[in-house]
Amino acid sequence: MKFVLEVDVDETATAEDSARELGRILRYWAGNLRYYALEPGTGEAVYDSAYREVGRWRFTEA
């Protein structure tokens, strides 16, 4: 099985802001994975701090 996280980074944001936002997204989803079935097909949309959809995470076959 493989865990895939895809996030579109805002090209107009500074590198510091992008790193901060990506860090927030990673911490949030790392903490929430325990609530999901760890099996292929499980996944959800990923949102930034302004609640805009910026990507997805999912479990897939290896």
**How high does pLDDT run on average in the chain?**
94
The span from the CA of 45 to the CA of 33, in Å, is 13
How many C-beta atoms surround the C-beta of residue 14 within 10 A?
A: 9
Read off the pLDDT band of 39 (50, 70, 90).
very high
**pLDDT of res. 38:** 93
Q: Distance between the two ends of the chain, CA-based, in angstroms?
A: 4
The long-range contacts involving 29-38, CB below 8 angstroms and separated by at least 24 positions, are 29/5, 29/57, 38/1
Q: In this structure, what token pair is assigned to residue 19? A: 């790193």
Over residues 9-27, the pLDDT tens digits come to: 989 999 999 999 999 999 9
Tell whether the model's pLDDT for residue 29 goes beyond 90. Answer: no
Q: Whole-prediction pTM value?
A: 0.82
